[in-house]
């Protein structure tokens, strides 16, 4: 009898020990609250709007800044999607500083005196102008900003890309993007021969692509 009792007691003790072990493992997995301790996985960030400017030198990829200059970004995307920039040229090049393009007048090589003055018009024939969206973004190499005459709220379609830092432009021009890939292309255009500030041989924007999210 004692042998049987001892075996039964040892078996009960073993079952209790196993049960305690199982409960301990479950407790460690589920935590004190009785629920699985699984950390929520944040969804991947939604890519912001981007643009691609295609040229014979290669492609220029641009990240746009809708949080900084929403109207300028919206305007650029609308024009690019409509094909407005296709066939325009980089009509102003200052070696070691910047390249400028996007003027529809540059599609006509016989109107060089009007380069930099073109832009879309409303139904009454008045130019459509953009209000300035100045920000604290520094005008450094690779920044894409809007060209304009002396009046701050007079930008239309022309834009420029810096190849060097231009702190003198800070707070005076509306930066709306930054080159993320293709600065070698920008440098190639900037190094092209010029006649004054105009390239000796036209460098065309063969196509401009832009979308709100990519």
pLDDT reading at 33 higher than 80: no
CA–CA distance, 165 with 140 (Å, rounded to integer): 4
Please give the pLDDT value at position 15.
56
Please give the pLDDT value at position 45.
54
pLDDT digits (tens, 9 = 90+) for 77-105: 999 999 999 999 999 999 999 999 999 99
Please give the pLDDT value at position 44.
56
Residue 71: partners with Cβ closer than 8 Å, 6 or more residues away: 130, 131, 133
User: Residue 189: pLDDT band by 50, 70, 90 thresholds?
Assistant: very high
Mean pLDDT of the 191-209 span? 91
User: Residue 119: pLDDT band by 50, 70, 90 thresholds?
Assistant: confident
What number of other Cβ atoms are within 10 A of residue 193's Cβ? 9
| pTM metric for this prediction | 0.77
Nearest to 143 by CA among 177, 170, 169, 113: 177
What whole-number percentage of the chain has pLDDT above 70?
77
Mean pLDDT of the 141-145 span? 98
User: In the structure encoding, which two tokens stand for residue 129, read together?
Assistant: 């102008």
Please give the pLDDT value at position 6.
47
For residues 139 and 165, the answer to whether their CB atoms sit within 8 Å is: yes
Please give the pLDDT value at position 104.
92
Buried b (16+ CB within 10 A) or exposed e, 149-163: eeeeebbbbbbbbbb
CA–CA distance, 57 with 101 (Å, rounded to integer): 15
Look up tokens 């070698």; give the residue. Answer: 184
What whole-number percentage of the chain has pLDDT above 90?
59
User: Residue 1: pLDDT band by 50, 70, 90 thresholds?
Assistant: very low
């Amino acid at each position: 009898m004692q042998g049987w009792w001892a075996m039964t007691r040892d078996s009960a003790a073993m079952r209790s020990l196993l049960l305690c072990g199982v409960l301990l493992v479950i407790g460690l997995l589920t935590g004190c609250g009785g629920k699985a301790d699984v950390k929520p996985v944040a969804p991947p960030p939604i890519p912001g709007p981007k643009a691609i400017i295609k040229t014979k030198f290669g492609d220029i990829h641009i990240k746009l800044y809708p949080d900084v200059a929403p109207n300028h970004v919206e305007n650029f995307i609308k024009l690019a999607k409509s094909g407005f920039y296709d066939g325009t040229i980089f009509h102003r090049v200052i070696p070691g500083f910047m390249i400028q393009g996007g003027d529809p007048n540059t599609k006509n090589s016989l109107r060089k005196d009007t380069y930099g003055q073109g832009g879309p018009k409303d139904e009454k024939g008045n130019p459509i102008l953009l209000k300035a969206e100045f920000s604290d973004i520094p005008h450094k190499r690779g920044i894409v900003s809007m060209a304009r005459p002396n009046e701050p709220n007079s930008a239309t379609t022309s834009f420029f890309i810096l190849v060097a830092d231009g702190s003198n432009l800070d707070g005076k021009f509306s930066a709306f993007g930054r080159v993320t890939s293709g600065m070698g292309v920008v440098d190639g255009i900037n190094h092209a021969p010029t006649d004054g500030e105009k390239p000796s041989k036209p460098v065309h924007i063969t196509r401009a692509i832009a979308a709100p999210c990519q």
